[in-house]
Structures are given as structure tokens and as C-alpha cells.
Structure 1
């Protein structure tokens, strides 16, 4: 690892007075910290790491639940009576709520655009989980439709996340 003379000088200036004595435990930075930038290639590699250390797993869990929900809704439509089976939907609601909580706890995406879409994904999925439970508990069709709309919005945001991650990966190559 190579250190630039400027970085070394800034560190020395930040930790020692003009007399050569060390300053207190709080260094006085002569170079503002917010001027430090991450090179684009490094940022793209960070995005890839963020995705493969857990972002993709959360996406895969969401897709699995989405497929279960789709199958349950198709079965309800094919049954002739059109009613959904709350016993089949309730576990999907619980799983989606858990995915939202896990996604909120996952460390922030290193790209602000991706993080914005990720926040939309988690917010919509969290609302969806609550509306799903409430709709099943109270037999409220309107809330169930809200749940479907929120799951759809979460999926659109997650698609945008995946697209931005793929673009970062392509650019890093």
C-alpha cells in the first residue's frame, strides 16, 4: 500500500502541534473528511459485495414468497368459488414481513440510488405484511387489494435495485 506525501503530511499536521508535541486524543484535520471520495470502480465493487453478501438472498426470499402468493391466488381463482384460503396466505404475509425487517437491518447500499430503491422496497413490503394480516383477520377485500398493490410496488423497487446492481457489475468489468 502506497501512502501519498500529502496524506502523511495531513496526518502529522492533524496529530501534532507546530512544536512537535502530540495534540489531544481528538485530531484536528487539516484536510476535510468529506473531501475524501471513493473511486467509481471501488464503489461498483462495493455494490457487488453488498449484493452478494445478503441483498441477493433477500431478493431471492421475496421472489420465493411472490411465487407462493401467485400460486395461491391462481388456485383460488381456479377453484370456482374465488375465495382465498387464509391458512395458505398467512405464512406468506408473515414471511414478507420478516423479509422487510431483515432488509431494513441489512447494511445500507453503498450507492445512494440503490439505497433509495432499497428503502422503497422495505417500506412497501413492510406495509404489505401488515395489510395482509389485517385483511385476513377482518375479511377486508380492500386491504387485501392494498396488500397486492404494495407487494407489486416492492417488486418494482427491487427490480430497480437489481438493475442498478447489474449496471454497476458491468461497469466494474
Structure 2
């Protein structure tokens, strides 16, 4: 059996807690109780940054970056990529953006929020309600601050698969790389 943690410190604190609270023996490999070893290790989560860097060299990505820069010319582009989950705070983020627009009218035509949402547990009523809530808030804000030529929030729902985005509309890994590049991630 193995218990894994994001950082070495988390793993070390887990072993320490098991020793102090449960009185079981901590070892360099993990914790041992009644002759059974549970390995404890750190497995940091990250991204394959080289994959993203290499994608920027693909002509399709360069063309998409050019199109996005033209489309949002003169506007600061903000990007959110989140699971559509109760704990991710997408409604709160969008409401905070609305408050920013209210309090900073001079930014209204100079900033756009691109919110990519990856749905989870679509069969659960609470998550369906969250999806509806986000759509409603985005629509209200766009109606309030948008114009015939521009809206302040672009909200895209995309399905996630382990190696790629599968489009609900038209967003794949290369399009995501272009969005990151336009919004200044990694620059």
C-alpha cells in the first residue's frame, strides 16, 4: 500500500502525525503498523512544460495567436481554466470581475475575461444548478456591460480527457496553448 502527497513536506508531516497521534512507527519509507508497511512518498503534480513550449512552434498555434490578438486588439485578455466544480469558485470569480467593471468604468472596453470551464459530475443536480448559475451570471454581466461589437466575458464549456480537451465547441490543446500565449502565461 502507498500514500502519496504533492510535496515532501506533506509526506513528512503525515508520517509525523501517524507517529504522534496513532503511536505507529515511522520509517524512511513510510509508516509501519503490525508488520505492515504503508509507503509514503511525494509525487509532485505539474505540467509537461516542454509540450506547451513546443506547441508554440506549430504554425496552427501561431495563426491562432495572430487571430486572437487581432480579435482582442487593445484589450487586456484574462484567462481562467477551471473545473466546473463547487469548490473552484467560478461564480465568485465572475462576480468579482463584475465588481471590477462596476468600480472601474474606464476598463470596461479594455479588458475581457475568457473563462474555460471543464464540467464535472454532469449527472448531479447540484452541478447542473451550478452550470445554470454560471451561464445566468455571465449573461447578465454581458448584457449589462457588453455592446454590439464586444462582450466582457467569453464562457466556454469543454470536456476534459486525460491527454487533451475534447471540444464542446472548438477548443483543443493547440487552441489552449494559443490562449495561454495571448494572455501572457509563461511570458
Task: Give the alignment's TM-score, normalised by structure 2.
Answer: 0.26
Which has a greater percent of strand? 2
**Which structure is larger by alpha-carbon Rg, 1 or 2?**
1
Which has a greater percent of helix? 1
